[in-house]
Structure 1
């Protein structure tokens, strides 16, 4: 069975409670990305949601991590937190043009996350999808959307994303609905239901489920037991798969990611 790469990681790398738990005691903060990228295979950059960065910063991050490591980049909130999405073209261009392509082959998907109050408006969302650039400065761009309102759980939304080649983020969340339909040529999963009371975020009994789901996605399949809107299998083709542990307390997220990497090895 042919499977695509499975990349596992966390959200961000700067978090004080990780010092002494994930990061060795006394490690310089300047060395934290280097250390984290040696233990994990992907990181979702969160800071780009709140502010912009200079091209040199992205270039520096790319040079710090090893070959094969990939960053997902969370898009600016100004692109998604707006009443009329179709009017976000300028914000999208500003976000894409700030220098993210300096990540080079370390650039993974762009995550476009919507607020839980944002409802599905087919016309507006369809217009917004057309604003997402397929490339920038010769670098191909991949897009994943995380929606968090029940109104998106309809075949029309799934079909729109599939036609656009945009992945719907599967989020295992205690607060928001999940859509597991595969719509892109890669899979983006956020495991958000973890708790710090568990050494690996999730109970031991749940880890085999996510291990098998990651393998199934990477092989081009559709894991059983997840919430789907459309009752049909995606085209059978291996898909690069991203799995991020991002839960409320965050303390156990690195340990969970390392454990999943170990189980997938």
Structure 2
């Protein structure tokens, strides 16, 4: 059965305290509080630096059964190396403890920088390097460099497929939309539908057996919220994918004015709650 996974992009924001998070809630309890109110969270710390295995274990154990994390791939791969010569960085990333999430590991998000134009050969080579299963990821992680000695963990556990979603930000992907969609489909990767208040391309293409949307703000990037009509439209987007047998992942990244968590809950109330959780979403 297809599932909708709806949540927020990150959860540790000081301005949310006393607004979304009740006054006095311990920072250590914020993840659990958010995870009780939505079915998934996009984990962003991994974009900025390699995390420790103990952190992945803590996040896994601090969320309910049936919860899923999407995990953002490191900017060292996407923004600094710009997808070139990334075998060692990819190995280090998967050795850092990502696989400790176990069944709670959802899609891996790769956000490309606004300055990276469409390059079919480069993108094809990068997509071919991405592991397709937990076993593939563990095998890749085994090739980590010396920097990960003593701080690596890559248990296979029960082998399962890995999903990858790619978010692009250079205008050339619009003019090459057909070629880009075909390339993604060949590798089974999802094209991220990104709502960025018109700043970056919005490519709404189905290229995998799941769909992935990032909602950064409808009118003002990272700030503006979504009104009832907009949320109804996104609910329709989710339902269309569910009806077609695809899982749908939606993450709100409009965090500046504390809209993201409330918009996520409002969208959850418009679409089916994942049956794996066995409960209705909180008000």
Scaled to the shorter chain, the TM-score interval is: 0.7 to 0.9
Instruction: Please tell me whether residue 212 in structure 1 is matched to residue 236 in structure 2.
Output: yes
Compared CA separation, residues 143 and 48, structure 1 to 2 (3 A):
same
Matched position secondary structure for 1:40: coil
The within-5 A match list for 1:92-241 is: 92-135=90-133, 136-137=137-138, 138=156, 139=159, 140-153=161-174, 154=176, 155-174=178-197, 175-194=199-218, 201-220=225-244, 238-241=245-248
Matched position secondary structure for 1:188: strand
Distance of 2:75 and 2:231 partners within structure 1: 32
Shift of 1:18: 0.9
Asked whether the equivalents of residues 195 and 252 of structure 1 are also in contact (C-alpha less than 8 Å), the reply is no
Compared CA separation, residues 128 and 29, structure 1 to 2 (3 A):
same
Distance of 1:46 and 1:84 partners within structure 2: 18
Tell me the number of residue pairs that the alignment of Structure 1 and Structure 2 aligns.
Answer: 244
Alpha carbon RMSD of aligned pairs, Å? 1.8
Distance of 2:29 and 2:217 partners within structure 1: 29
Distance of 1:56 and 1:83 partners within structure 2: 27
Compared CA separation, residues 248 and 255, structure 1 to 2 (3 A):
closer
Structure 2 length normalisation: TM-score? 0.82
Asked whether the equivalents of residues 112 and 143 of structure 1 are also in contact (C-alpha less than 8 Å), the reply is yes
- After superposition, the C-alpha distances for 1:91-139 in whole angstroms (9 at most, x for unaligned) are 1111122110100111000100011111011111111111111122334
